[in-house]
Structure 1
């Protein structure tokens, strides 16, 4: 297990205290959830950077990193549905795309596991931005901005999914 993959696994483990904090009634715990979420999200960049810098890119990392992104995004989105901040059907669209592309990436007919493309990365950044804003306690501007960014992330989720599924046309 190399350093980038270890960081990725730590990001998965951070979901537990994030969720625990989100269910606590005292505002300080909401701030803890927000902070831990940002740490987990920012270390997504760190593990990728280290994998490239240390030449430690592995198929395990190509599989674990997007899976970790999905767990990190879906867990708080489910809490936001429960709090009636975002609609379930928007999250459903995200879930369908994520499950479909996860299966597509590990297609046994492929020789290697494919990593995320630029659209997928942009989609993830907008999802994380929306969630971070929606986790902030007691800031109306954050709520309205977070909702707008959430819907932008849903649109990017659909676009990035279609890019994976629709093969590029070949020019002859």
Structure 2
């Protein structure tokens, strides 16, 4: 097998992001057909988050493209959808700010030390992503009873807390990797 299938799934997730955003903006909180299309597309895109990595590992075709594009696709799907829900449904902006700041910092930090260290996704980071996707899926569902929105809120709060905790964990790992790289650079000189 080649990495073409997992990479195509990652690309499909990236392409789905603007489509989900446009559908939500077109619906503008009316809970109509565009919202249902956004839900279906979001769910399909979320499923590719698991499937692309699973296939790449199973087939032994993990690629440099996949390692870079997969987390970018995840972040784009979560942040793009959450931003649109803040605009369209009036969700509070501060979970978006916390999650967005964490995602940007961890991505930049990983790239800063990428030449000498691979900082793998942690179980906490995977739990954060799952909680984010679940919260967004619950918020996207149109016409649900109030308890669904309440559940979505608490899942989003858990995802925000996980973003903070894992952000600190990744910061420690990034700083250790940077120190180790500086130390090995001095030793080589």
Q: Does 1:99 align with 2:101?
A: no
> Paired residues, what number?
169
Stretches of structure 2 that go unaligned for 5 or more consecutive residues are 177-189
Aligned residue number for residue 121 of structure 2: 116
Structural RMSD (CA): 1.9
Q: Does 1:147 align with 2:153?
A: yes
Distance (Å, rounded) in 2 between the aligned partners of 1:60 and 1:111:
18
Aligned residue number for residue 5 of structure 1: 7
Scaled by the length of structure 1, the TM-score of the pair is 0.90
Find the partner of 2:71 among 56, 66, 91. 66
Q: Which runs of 4+ in 1 moved over 2 A?
A: 83-86, 108-115
CA positional deviation for 1:162: 0.9
CA positional deviation for 1:84: 4.7
Distance (Å, rounded) in 2 between the aligned partners of 1:56 and 1:18:
29
Stretches of structure 1 that go unaligned for 5 or more consecutive residues are none
For residues 67-124 of structure 1, the C-alpha deviation after alignment (integer angstroms, 9 at most, x for no partner) is 1100000011111111354211211010110000001111256325433221111100
Q: 1:152/1:82 Cα in 2 relative to 1: closer, same or farther (>3 Å)?
A: same
Q: Is the CA contact (8 Å cut-off) linking 1:62 and 1:115 kept in structure 2?
A: no
Higher-Rg structure is 2
Structure 1, 16-25 or 50-59: larger mean CA deviation: 16-25
Structure 1, 21-30 or 74-83: larger mean CA deviation: 21-30
Scaled by the length of structure 2, the TM-score of the pair is 0.83
Find the partner of 2:55 among 46, 50, 53. 50
Q: Is the CA contact (8 Å cut-off) linking 2:106 and 2:167 kept in structure 1?
A: yes
Q: Is the CA contact (8 Å cut-off) linking 2:9 and 2:52 kept in structure 1?
A: yes
Find the partner of 1:129 among 117, 128, 134. 134
Hey, which of these two has a bigger chunk of helix by percent? 2
Q: Is the CA contact (8 Å cut-off) linking 1:86 and 1:147 kept in structure 2?
A: no
Q: 1:83/1:104 Cα in 2 relative to 1: closer, same or farther (>3 Å)?
A: same
Q: Does 1:78 align with 2:83?
A: yes
Tell me the SS of whatever aligns to 1:49: helix
